[in-house]
Amino acid sequence: MASSPTHTSSPRSRRSRLKRGSVALAGAAALVGGLLAPSAAVADQTFVSDADTSANVTHVANVPKTEAMSDFNSDLAFTGDHAIGGNYNGFVIYDISSPEDPQVVSEVLCPGGQGDVSVSGDLLYFSVDYARASDECGAPSVPTSDPNGFEGIRIFDISDKENPQYVAAVRTDCGSHTNTLVPGKDGEHEYVYVSSYSPSVNFPNCRPPHDKISIIEVPLDDPASAQVIEAPVLFPDGGNTNTSGCHDITVYPEHDIAAGACMGDGILMDISDPTAPVVTDVVRDTNFAFWHSATFTNDGATVLFTDELGGGGGAVCTEAIGPERGANAIYTIDGFKGKKKDLELEFEGYYKIPRLQSTTENCVAHNGSLIPVPGQDFFVQSWYQGGVSVIDFNNPAKPKEIGYFDRAPINEDRLVLGGSWSAYYYNGYVYSSDITRGLDVIKLTEPRLRPAERVGMDEFNPQSQPEYRPGRR
């Protein structure tokens, strides 16, 4: 069992580090090397929010980060009464059976950067985006120029939430910046789409062109044998000037469609065969600097893309930047009711938070999810230090904010990276992963959103969208 490393690196921007590396299958690793006991909670301490909120938003809880998870918090996934929070140092499992009093169940110290997470039953998929000397938890970091360095996907068994086990590691070209779970149609396999980017001639395992994704096949009866089975090229003729792979992909399995946010391009895909996605349309926008993520409406007829102008570290929610950059772009899908190969994206409008932020607050469109009101289009979204925004985009040409959660700057005098990385609605509450301040829980009391409380989920990966109905579980 590998020992856990001492964390000495300082926080850094997700796009400012030296990238990438490694390809091929790694054998199943030993048990987790960095399982930590949950920190003791402070008994009978009354929670007091430090956020400014609209009247229909209440900040009900915060779980601060621990010393072990001192690096950046990243994405979230949900299973049953648990939330799983990614961190550049590993991941945390929270008990959210009492949403207004969440508790840390376990922490796994297994550094590798990014820490994007997806959950499927007892399996957790974890993105490793900084090269390590081996696939073991606790292996030291190595330069991306090291041909033997490991990056890719780590697979954990989380059936025992108090004692997760390390099952396998799968190397992928350029590592894994994000990952997306895709259910298999045979009930015996599932797939993980791995997105990564920033190739270089100096990186032996991540050389340009890198216009592809990696597809990992996971046999559900033997996840330790997971391996890369395909690496489809999404841009055979080359993408936009700054496209070299994708940042993130959202799939909607119920409709066999996917939307890719691919740096310089937004794409729509037919995933009827999940091992062979087919690009049906590509769009570009001169106002978009970095196509970052995507979300479909529940009917699958509209998709919302985000632009991460400034790479997440910039203060772009200012009057000088304006309302159409670092924003969301909303597209309807022309031909959605027809054949998948005929689908095309049609621009409708932009959305950006109307609350201007200071020049010391990194703020830009980031991760969010639908609020599951049947027949309606509402969205909750993180904006780093711009906080969390609740959005009505029933008219995609004129989206508007109907609620918000917003803290004061982390530092009034200089720009410091922080704020809400992801904000997702799950079973009646919004959970926000704050980069530096921990897990926030938010309650929405907006009357228009109450029908969402009747929509129950047993599992939720925001980049693998479920179709929802009232009372469904």
Alpha helices in 203-251 (DSSP H): none
CB atoms within 10 A of CB 276: 11
At 297 the pLDDT is 97
Is 257 within 8 Å of 296 (Cβ atoms)?
yes
The sheet with strand 150-157 has its strands ordered as: 24-26, 165-171, 150-157, 123-132, 114-120
pLDDT range class, residue 46, cuts 50, 70, 90: confident
pLDDT range class, residue 459, cuts 50, 70, 90: very high
Please give the model's pTM, rounded to 2 decimal places: 0.92
How do residues 193-246 score in pLDDT, each as one tens digit? 999 999 999 999 999 999 999 999 999 999 999 999 999 999 999 999 889 999
Cα angle, residue 279 at apex, residues 274 and 280 outer, rounded to 5°? 120
Query: Could you report how far apart the first and last alpha carbons of the chain are, in Å?
Result: 38
Please state the separation of Cα 139 from the chain's center in Å.
24
At 37 the pLDDT is 65
pLDDT range class, residue 27, cuts 50, 70, 90: very low
Show the tokens assigned to 362. Answer: 């990194």
How do residues 62-91 score in pLDDT, each as one tens digit? 999 999 999 999 999 999 999 999 999 999
How do residues 422-452 score in pLDDT, each as one tens digit? 999 999 999 999 999 999 999 999 999 999 9
What is the rounded CA–CA span in Å between residue 424 and residue 429?
8
What is the rounded CA–CA span in Å between residue 220 and residue 230?
18
How do residues 101-135 score in pLDDT, each as one tens digit? 999 999 999 999 999 999 999 999 999 999 999 99
Please state the separation of Cα 188 from the chain's center in Å.
25
Please state the separation of Cα 67 from the chain's center in Å.
23
For the chain, helix (H) and strand (E) counts, in that order, are 0, 32
How do residues 134-175 score in pLDDT, each as one tens digit? 999 999 999 999 999 999 999 999 999 999 999 999 999 999
